[in-house]
Every structure is written in C-alpha cells, then in structure tokens.
Amino acid sequence: MKNKAITSRNEDFAQWYTDVIRAAKLAAYSNVKGCIVIEPNGYAIWERMQQELDKMFKETGHQNLYMPVLIPENLMKKEGELINGFAPEVAWVTIGGQNELEERMCIRPTSETLFSDYYSNVVNSYRDLPKKYNQWCNVMRWEKETRPFLRSREFLWQEGHTIHETAKEAEEETRNMLGVYKKFFEEFLAIPVITGRKTEKEKFAGAEYTLTIEALMYNGVSLQSGTSHYFGQKFSKAYDITFSNRENQLEYVYQTSWGVTTRMIGALIMVHSDENGLILPPKIAPRQVAIIPIGTSDRVKDISNEILNKLSNAGIVAYVDNTERSPGFKFAEAEVNGIPIRIEIGERDLNENKITFARRDTYEKLVEPMDIDIVEYVKELMNKIQNNMFDKAKARLEELTYECHNLDEVKKIMNEKPGFVKAMWCGDPECELKMKEIKGTKSRCILEDAKPIDDKCIVCGKPAKDLVVWGIQY
C-alpha cells in the first residue's frame, strides 16, 4: 500500500517533505537559485488561501491596493531599525535599461516604507482615519539556505498595512488581525496554533511589538506562521505622517502591519500529510472529490457524470478521472494529491445498488446505498474529515507540548522528541542565547496573561517574568 515514491516520514522527515511536494507536483526547483516554481497544484492551494483570507480581510474593512516592487535606498533608510533588520538580505537593482542608477533600489522585502511614503497623500484629518490596506504580492529576501515554501528568496504573501487615530485602535487592529489568522489556520487549514508576543530579540525590525501564531509540524519543529505588528508612531515619526486630531492639533498616526505567506503551504504539508503523500483539509482543497469510474460501461460513465453534476451544482469541487489508466493508478494519484474524498463507481457495486467512498485522512472505505442524498452525504463527510484532521493535529500538538523547569529537561526533549516547551523566563536576552545552545531552541512567543508555572527563569534562576513557549524552528 505504501507509496514507493515517498520516503517514510519517520525515517527522514526532510526527504519525506520534498518527496510529498514532488509527488503532488506542488513545486519544482528552478534555475533561479533559491527560487521555486509554484506548480499548478501548489498554486491552486494558494488561490484557495487567497480567496478565503481576502474575504476575511474585506469583511473586516480592508481594501486592496498595489505598491511598487522597488524601494529606493533612501526611502528604505528612513526608519533605522528596519533597514538594519533587512539590509543584509535584500536584492539590489543597480542598473535600469542601459544605465547605472543614480540611487540603487531594492526589491521589496516588505513594504512598510512605501506605505509610509504613501500615507501622507491620503491623510490630513482624523476624519480620514483609519486607512486599512492590504496587498497581495511577491517579496524577496536573500536567504542563504532555502526550502520549498518554508524559506525561499522570493515568496508570495499578503501584507496588511493600516493607520489609525489612536494607539488603542491600532493595537486592537493588531490583535484582531492575529485573530483572523488564528481563525483561518484552525477553521480552514485545520492547524491549531498558539498565539503570543515575540520577545524583543525576535520581533519585527521597527515594531513596538509583534504578535505571532506558531504552529507545530508533525516532527515537533515549530513554524512561525503569521505575524501582526504594532508600530506605534515609529514609522509615522520617521516618515512624517501626521493628521490633525480632534483637538485640531497635528499628531503622528498609529500604525500596524501583518502578513502571511506561501509558507502556509509548507505548514499544511508538514502537519497533515502522511506516508502516501499530501492530505488536504476539504475546506482548503482546490479539488474536494475525485470520482473514479471503474470500467468503461455506459452505466459507470453516466452515473459518474451524474454525481459530478450533483456535486458541482452544490458548489463542491469534484472531477471525474476519465484518463485511460488503471483504477489503482488513479486511486494512488488522487491519494498523492491529497483529494479528501474518492468516490469509486464500479459495475460490481452498481449491481448491488452501492457506491464506495474512501476517506483520504483515515483510508476508511464506506460502502453506501445508491439512493442516499449524495450532496448531503459528501458535505457531512467533508465536515468529518475537516474536524478529524484538526483534532488529530491538536492531539499531536498537545502530545508534543511540555512544561519544563530546568535545562536538562529541555535538552532531553529537544534531543528525543522535540516540540513546544513551556518554561519561565526572566526577560534577559542572554538567557535566550543560552537556550539557543540546545539544538537551536528559540523563543516562539511569550504567552500573555498566562499563569506562571514557576517563579524563576529556567536558564539563570533569577526571578521569572514571563511564561514563554520555546521550540526548534524552521
């Protein structure tokens, strides 16, 4: 039964990951170093993600727009922390047309600078606020080590950028958008996340603070999956973005930004997939049902098409695999592509007035009478699959979440069966550096309003300030 094109997940997780991507044709390596081709099957997942997120962004009052891909160096430099954070990893355009540029420009690694430059055009008074923008685009960060979807020089993302009249409103926005991400991960991707605040060391360059959602991959490695930043007035002071407030005085705006990327596709794979390839949650799967005719009789064909029509009319994305290959081959292909439900239509079943459903998540085969309400049945089955996938991921997250009280415990866990480690921290970046010596363990986030599990820092033993989740990261 085991798909031979895919390395076992427990044997070599990294190889398994690349095998799943290749087998499902999600991405291909390109001759552009550090960049991938997102192939149709991978891009279709991204489109589904975009559709759902875009709807959520618009429902919360955001508007899409588009900023230039290039940022002149001077504009980039205005906010000191940002350029310090990003300068080492940008790509610089130095020649345009035939000529050396007077001022070099970088390909956007993120667009706070351009948005900040733009805001002055659109804001004069508190009446013009808030402005809530989002853009879907490509960005580039000159990474040294790359992995498909998880880390590549170019990636696709959305970046939300907003400005507000008050700190309170901007902080609410920061938190609300983190909530949107959490909801999207849990409801659509079936991936449970923990949320919290990044430490000073790990926050976004230029932010007052960064909120994050963190997911845990099947192998216990953590993945920063979405971040939401509160900038206060840092950028508005650097870029001189003012408005006349209700007291008719000039004030600097309060700013946020937030983003998620094609990295989410990597998360989907690493959380849910198995020895036989991709498994997609029905709510995000670009194709939800594979209908596979067994044999070529007219009856088999007609019923396959009839079911296709019924499902399509109900808004379920199904397809009939009419290619000239064996049913076994078609089953394996639907499997490797992660199609949540397979419907098998064969003469033998039909003679007994039956059809067979197969669940991708559990491999369970369900033989049902022909006269069931197939739309309702498939809808229910998709719900079950969606919930089961979430529950399974949640159980894994819980299984791999530990409370630790000393570094030996952390060492043991990170060496044997890594995951999220909860431990107290004094707030000193030195202690974060010490923790990193244990297999690169980093703070994932500070849990806000969490009950302390100890009174001293797990590293230095001094009085603890925060309960922090730690993990090995991608």
- Residues lying near a copy of itself in the complex (CB under 8 A) are found at 28, 30-32, 35-40, 42-44, 46-47, 63-72, 75, 88-98, 104-105, 107, 114, 117-118, 121, 133, 137-138, 140, 142, 144, 153-154, 156
> Which contiguous run of DSSP H or E holds residue 369?
strand 365-369
Nearest to a copy of itself of 106, 459 (CB atom):
106
Torsional class of 355: left (φ above 0), alpha (ψ -120 to 50), beta (otherwise) = beta
Cα 121 versus chain centre, distance: 33
Instruction: Give me the sign of the Cα torsion angle 135, 136, 137, 140.
Output: positive
Cβ 132 to a copy of itself shortest distance, Å: 10
Nearest to a copy of itself of 173, 208 (CB atom):
173
Token pair recorded at residue 13: 């997780």
The DSSP 8-state label assigned to residue 166 in this structure reads S
Other CB atoms closer than 10 Å to residue 356's CB: what's the count?
A: 17
Contacts of 178 (CB under 8 A, 6+ apart): 195, 211, 212, 213, 226, 228, 258
Cβ 415 to a copy of itself shortest distance, Å: 32
Cβ 326 to a copy of itself shortest distance, Å: 15
- In DSSP terms, which residues pair with 226 in a beta bridge? 213
Could you give the 3-state DSSP secondary structure of residue 345? strand
Cβ 369 to a copy of itself shortest distance, Å: 35
Length of the chain: 474
Residue 427: closest CA among 178, 197, 207 = 197
Nearest to a copy of itself of 40, 429 (CB atom):
40
Distance between CA 460 and CA 407 in Å, rounded? 10
Nearest to a copy of itself of 159, 432 (CB atom):
159
Distance between CA 116 and CA 75 in Å, rounded? 10
Greatest pairwise CA separation for the chain in angstroms: 81
Cβ 447 to a copy of itself shortest distance, Å: 34
Nearest to a copy of itself of 151, 456 (CB atom):
151
Give the angle 221-257-280 at the CA atoms, nearest 5°: 40
Nearest to a copy of itself of 290, 467 (CB atom):
290
Cβ 95 to a copy of itself shortest distance, Å: 4
Could you give the 3-state DSSP secondary structure of residue 358? strand
Distance between CA 248 and CA 440 in Å, rounded? 51
Cβ 33 to a copy of itself shortest distance, Å: 8
Nearest to a copy of itself of 73, 275 (CB atom):
73
Cβ 82 to a copy of itself shortest distance, Å: 16
Cβ 88 to a copy of itself shortest distance, Å: 6
Nearest to a copy of itself of 31, 351 (CB atom):
31
Q: Quickly tell me which residue has 């427990």 as its tokens.
A: 10
Cβ 114 to a copy of itself shortest distance, Å: 7
State the Rg of the chain over Cα.
25
Nearest to a copy of itself of 137, 407 (CB atom):
137
Nearest to a copy of itself of 45, 345 (CB atom):
45
Cβ 324 to a copy of itself shortest distance, Å: 10
Distance between CA 452 and CA 145 in Å, rounded? 37
C-alpha pair distances (Å), 103 with each of 46, 68, 75, 93, 141: 35, 16, 11, 9, 20
Strands (E), 108-249: 131-140, 154-164, 194-197, 209-216, 222-232, 242-244
Cβ 168 to a copy of itself shortest distance, Å: 23
Nearest to a copy of itself of 63, 415 (CB atom):
63
Buried b (16+ CB within 10 A) or exposed e, 290-317: bbbbbeeeeebeebbeebbeebeeeebe
Token pair recorded at residue 38: 């997102």
Nearest to a copy of itself of 39, 428 (CB atom):
39
